[in-house]
Structure 1
Amino acid sequence: MDAQIIARWQFGITTVYHFLFVPLTISLSMLVAVLQTIWYKTGNDNFLRLTKFFGKLFLINIAAGVVTGIVQEFQFGMNWSEYSRFVGDVFGAPLALEALLAFFLESTFIGLWIFGWDRLPKKLHLLTIYLTAIGTMLSAVFILAANSWMQNPVGAVFRNGRAELTDFGALLTNPVFLVTFPHQLSASYMVGGGLVAGLSGWHLARLHKARKEAPEGQDLHYTGTSVKAEHVERDITTWRWAAKFGAWVLLVASLFVCLSGDFQGKVMTQVQPMKMAAAEAHYETSDSPDFSVVTIGSIDGTEEVWSLKIPKLLSFLAHGNFDSQVQGVNDLVEQYEKDGFIRDDGTQTELQKQYAEVLKTVPVEARPNVMVAYWTFRIMMGLGFAGMGIAAWILWVLRKGRNPMPGRLWMTAMVALPLLPVFANSFGWIFTEMGRQPWIVAGVMPTWTAVSPSVSAGEALATMLLFTLIYGALAVVEVGLILKWNRAGLPEVEPVEIVEDEDAPLSFAY
C-alpha cells in the first residue's frame, strides 16, 4: 500500500462528500431570503410557509456541511504536512479570512435568524438571512481563491525553501479565480433551483391526484401529510408557484454556467494546457482540432482508438476562434520532459520560474489520467443538461394553469432533479482536481511530494475507513431528516408578533 495514494483517496472521499452540501448552502440561503422578502412585501403567508419549509432544509444542510468541512482543514496537517509547510504562507491567508470573516458572519446571523422571528423587527430579521447568504458567498470567494492559486500560482515567490506570498491582491485577480467564482456560484444556484423545483413538483402532483380522487369537501391525506379541505387550493397554488420559481432559477443559472464555463475553458487552456488536452482526449497537437463527443482511447492514455467529433469546435472552445492550434497530451509530455512546465503561451508564473531548477531533480510523471479527466468532464455536462431539460419540462407541463399527475416518469424526474445538479457539481470538481494531476500546485509541487512523511499507509488507511464510516452514518441522518421534513409538507404558520418581554425565553422557530 502507498500512503500517498490512500491519503489522496481519503481527501477525495471527504472532500466530495463535504461538497455535496456546499452548493446547496450557497444557493438555498439566498433563495430562502428571496422567499422571505416576498412574504415581507406582500404579507402573503404562503410565502412564509415556503420560507419555513425550505429554511428548515437549509438548516439541516448547513449543519451537515459545517461538521464535514471541519475535517478538511485538519487533513492538511495530518496527511499533507509537506504541502502545508510549502504553501502555508500563501494558502493560510484566504483560509484565515474565510474563518474570520465568512464563517463568523454566517454563524452569527444564522443564529439571529433562527431565534429572532419574534424578537427582531421584520425588516431587521430579514436582513439577518441576507447577511447569512452573503457570508456563504464570501466563504466561497476565499476557498475558491485558494484553490485557484493551486491551479495558477500567482503572487508568490520561492524563498526560504517554500512559497511565500508577495501580493495578496494577485490571489483575488487570478484569471482562474475570476472565471471560477461566477461559474461555481451559478452551478450552486442550479442545485438550489433543482431542489425547490423537484420537491415542489413532487408535492404538487401528489396533492393534485389526491384532490381529484377525494370527495369534494373532504380533507386530503397523501404521503403522511394531511391537508384540510379549505386549504387544498391554497397549497396547490403555493407548490405550483414554487415549482415554477425553482425551474426558472435552474434554467437562468444554467445559462450563466454555460457562459462562464466557456470563459473558464479558455483560461484553463492558457494556464493548464494539459488539462484541456486531457479533457478532450486530444493526444496530438493540431490546427483547428475537432471537439470530441465520444472518444475511446488506449489503456495507457497515449492514443485515440475511435471517436465521434464535431469539426473545429475544440479550437473555438480553447481559443475563441476556429483556426487556432491546440496542444496534445503527447506533445505536452515531451515538452515537459525537455523544458519543464510551461503555460500555453510559453510563459510561467514567477513561482513556477523560480522553482523550475528544483523540479529538474524531482521525478514527475507528466501524463495525467486522461480517462478520468475525459469522462468526468462529460458526465458533468450530461447531468447538467439533463437537469436543464427537466426544468424546461416542468415549465411546459405547468403552462396555462395545468397541474401534473404523479406518473412514473414525472415522479422519477422530480426525485432526480435535486440530485442531477449536485452530482454535476461533484464531477466538475473531480475533473478540476484530477485534471491538475500530477500537480498539487500546478507546475510547482508534484502531489507525491506533498504527503506527510511520518504517516504510514496503515495509519492513512485506518483514518480513511473511519471517516468513510462516520460520513456514511451522517449521510443516513441527513437523508432521513430531509425526507421526514419533506413528507410533512408545508407547515402551518401563526402571525409573527414581536415579544416585548426581554426576559422571555428564546423560541426555536423550527
Structure 2
Amino acid sequence: MTAADLARLQFAATTGIHWLFVVLTMGLVPLVAALHTRAAYTRDPARRAVRERMTRFWGQLYVINYAVGIATGLVMEFQFGLNWSGLSKYAGNVFGAPLALETLIAFFAESTFLGMWIFGWGRLRTGVHVTLIWLVALTAYASAYWIMVANGFMQHPVGHQVRDGVAYLTDFGAQLTNPSALVALGHVALGALTTGGVFVAGISAWHFARGTGEPELFRGSLRLGVWVSMLASFFVVVVGELQMPVLERTQPMKVAVLTGDGVAALQEQLVREHGPGDYVPWQDTLRISMDAMTLIGNTVSTVTLVAVILLRKDRLVRWRPLAYLMTAMIPLPFLASVAGWIVREVGRQPWLIYGELTVEDALSHVGTGALTVSCAVFIAVFLGLAVTNWTLITRFARRGPSATQLGTTDPAEPERPTVPSY
C-alpha cells in the first residue's frame, strides 16, 4: 500500500469507529433529557419513581458511551497535522476556527455540563438539574454543527479567497450557512435520533419479552423508543433526498456515479478544468454504500411503523419473535450511518477539498513504515475502545435498572431526595 492509501485507511477507520460513539451519543441524550424532564415534573410519587429510574438507567448507558467515546475524539484533529499537513497549510485559516469551537464545546462545555448533571442528583434544584441535561444535549448538537461546517467546506468550499496557494476566510457567514453543511446536519441529526430510538426500543423489548421485571419502566421506554425511531427514520429519508439538488450543483460527479449517467462526459470536463487525472470516485464502493444506507433506512422505517401499530395492548412484545426482532435491529442504524459517511466522503474523491485540493497534495511527507505502524496502533486502540464500550453497555443493559449506579448514594447511607439547595 502507498503512503496515501495507509493515511486514508487510518483516517477512515478511526473516524468510522469514532462515529459509532457520536451517533449513539447524539441519539440518546435528547431521550434522556426528555425522560428526566418528565420524571422531574411528575406529581404522582409512584410514577415519578419509575420515570426517575428510567432516566438513570438510560442515562447510565449514555454516560458509558460518552466516557469511552470521548477518548476516540481526541486524536481526530491531531491526524490533520500528522498525516495531512497539506490540508492544514492550505485551509487551516478557514476551518481552523470551526474545529477549535467544536473542541471547546465538546471537551469543555459539554463535559462540564454532563459532569454537573452526573453529580447533581440529590444536590441541585430540580429545575437546575433538568436544565443541565438539556444543555448537554444542546452542546452535543452544537458540536456536531461545527464539525459539519468544517466538513461542509471540504465538500463545497465557500466564503474564502486563495492567495499564494493558501485559502483565507473572507465570508464567515457563507461558511456558517453552507448548504452542504446545513442539510447534511439535518440528515445526521435525524439519523442519530433513529439510532437512539432503535437502541432504546431494542433493549426495552428484550427485557419486556424475557419478563425481567419492571414492566411499567420498559413499557414506557419501549413506547418512547419506537415512536422516536419511527418519526426520525421517516424524516431522515426525506432530508436525505433534499441533499440531491445540493449535490447536483456542487458535486455532479458523485450524482453521476450514483445514477450511472454522464460519468464519461464529466470526466472529460474535469480534465479540461483541472488537468489530467482520474476524477471518478470508487464507483462500486459508492453504489454499494448508497444501496445499503437506503435499504436499511427503509427497513427501519417500515418495521418501526408496524411496531407503533403493535404497541397497543402490548402486542409488540407478546409475540417474542417480534420483540427479539426489535433487539436485532439495534446495529442497523449504525451500519446505515457508516454507509452514509462513506457516500459523503468517498464520493468527492480524488478531492480532499472539492475542486481545490487533492488527497495526494494534502498528504504529509511521512514514510510508509511510520504510517504502517501508526495505522496499526490507532486501529487496534480504537477497536479496543469500541469493544470495551459495547461490553460495558451490554453488561449494564442486561442487568437492567437494578444495577444502575448513576444518581445513587453510598449504600451505607439512605438515598437522599432532591432538595431545593445548591
Preserved CA contact (<8 Å) 2:316 2:322: no
Return the alpha-carbon distance in structure 2 between the equivalents of residues 137 and 367 of structure 1: 33
Of residues 243, 246, 249 in structure 1, which corresponds to 2:228?
Answer: 249
Shift of 1:254: 1.6
Which residue number in structure 2 is paired with residue 281 of structure 1?
260
Which residue number in structure 2 is paired with residue 260 of structure 1?
239
Is the aligned partner of 1:473 residue 2:394? no
Runs of 4+ in 1 over 6 A off after TM superposition: none
Preserved CA contact (<8 Å) 1:103 1:135: no
Preserved CA contact (<8 Å) 1:205 1:403: no
Preserved CA contact (<8 Å) 1:198 1:414: yes
Secondary structure of the corresponding residue to residue 157 of structure 1: strand
- What amino acid is the match of 1:31? L
Which residue number in structure 2 is paired with residue 38 of structure 1?
38
Secondary structure of the corresponding residue to residue 317 of structure 2: coil
Return the alpha-carbon distance in structure 1 between the equivalents of residues 42 and 76 of structure 2: 42
Which residue number in structure 1 is paired with residue 219 of structure 2?
240
Preserved CA contact (<8 Å) 1:243 1:394: no
Shift of 1:27: 2.2
Where in structure 2 are the equivalents of 1:34-433 lying within 5 Å?
34-43=34-43, 44-207=48-211, 222=212, 227=213, 235-282=214-261, 328-338=262-272, 340=273, 359-360=274-275, 363-402=276-315, 404-405=317-318, 407-408=320-321, 410-411=323-324, 413-433=325-345
Preserved CA contact (<8 Å) 2:254 2:348: yes
Secondary structure of the corresponding residue to residue 279 of structure 2: coil
Return the alpha-carbon distance in structure 1 between the equivalents of residues 132 and 90 of structure 2: 39
Preserved CA contact (<8 Å) 1:23 1:188: yes
Return the alpha-carbon distance in structure 1 between the equivalents of residues 21 and 235 of structure 2: 21
Return the alpha-carbon distance in structure 1 between the equivalents of residues 386 and 19 of structure 2: 13
Preserved CA contact (<8 Å) 1:87 1:164: yes
Return the alpha-carbon distance in structure 1 between the equivalents of residues 304 and 417 of structure 2: 34
Query: What value does the CA root-mean-square deviation take over the aligned residues?
Result: 1.8
Secondary structure of the corresponding residue to residue 371 of structure 2: helix
Q: 1:74 to 1:422 in 2, by over 3 A?
A: same
Q: 1:488 to 1:480 in 2, by over 3 A?
A: same
Return the alpha-carbon distance in structure 2 between the equivalents of residues 35 and 9 of structure 1: 40
Shift of 1:134: 0.5
Shift of 1:238: 2.0
Shift of 1:398: 2.4
Superimposed CA distance per residue, residues 63-107 of structure 1 (whole angstroms, 9 cap, x where no aligned partner): 122111111111111111111111100120101111224432201
Return the alpha-carbon distance in structure 1 between the equivalents of residues 314 and 8 of structure 2: 52
Larger radius of gyration: 1
Preserved CA contact (<8 Å) 1:14 1:468: yes
Preserved CA contact (<8 Å) 1:269 1:276: yes
Of residues 485, 496, 500 in structure 1, which corresponds to 2:417?
Answer: 496
Return the alpha-carbon distance in structure 1 between the equivalents of residues 322 and 224 of structure 2: 21
Preserved CA contact (<8 Å) 2:206 2:327: yes
Return the alpha-carbon distance in structure 2 between the equivalents of residues 239 and 276 of structure 1: 43
Superimposed CA distance per residue, residues 165-205 of structure 1 (whole angstroms, 9 cap, x where no aligned partner): 11111111112122111111111100111111111111111
Return the alpha-carbon distance in structure 1 between the equivalents of residues 124 and 72 of structure 2: 31
Which residue number in structure 1 is paired with residue 412 of structure 2?
none
Task: From the two aligned structures, give the one with the greater helix fraction.
Answer: 2
Larger RCO, structure (CA 8 Å, separation 6 or more): 2
484-493 or 121-130: which moved more? 484-493
- What amino acid is the match of 1:440? L
Secondary structure of the corresponding residue to residue 164 of structure 1: strand
Which residue number in structure 1 is paired with residue 370 of structure 2?
459
Preserved CA contact (<8 Å) 1:15 1:72: yes
The count of residues paired between Structure 1 and Structure 2 equals: 408
- What amino acid is the match of 2:11? F
Secondary structure of the corresponding residue to residue 9 of structure 1: helix
Return the alpha-carbon distance in structure 2 between the equivalents of residues 274 and 496 of structure 1: 60
11-20 or 386-395: which moved more? 386-395
Return the alpha-carbon distance in structure 1 between the equivalents of residues 416 and 38 of structure 2: 16
- What amino acid is the match of 1:337? V
Return the alpha-carbon distance in structure 2 between the equivalents of residues 151 and 457 of structure 1: 28
Preserved CA contact (<8 Å) 1:186 1:257: yes
Identity %: 41
Task: From the two aligned structures, give the one with the greater strand fraction.
Answer: 1
Shift of 1:261: 1.1
**Which TM-score applies when normalising by structure 2?**
0.93
Secondary structure of the corresponding residue to residue 119 of structure 1: coil
435-444 or 485-494: which moved more? 485-494
Superimposed CA distance per residue, residues 87-133 of structure 1 (whole angstroms, 9 cap, x where no aligned partner): 10012010111122443220111010011112110110110000011
Preserved CA contact (<8 Å) 1:103 1:136: no
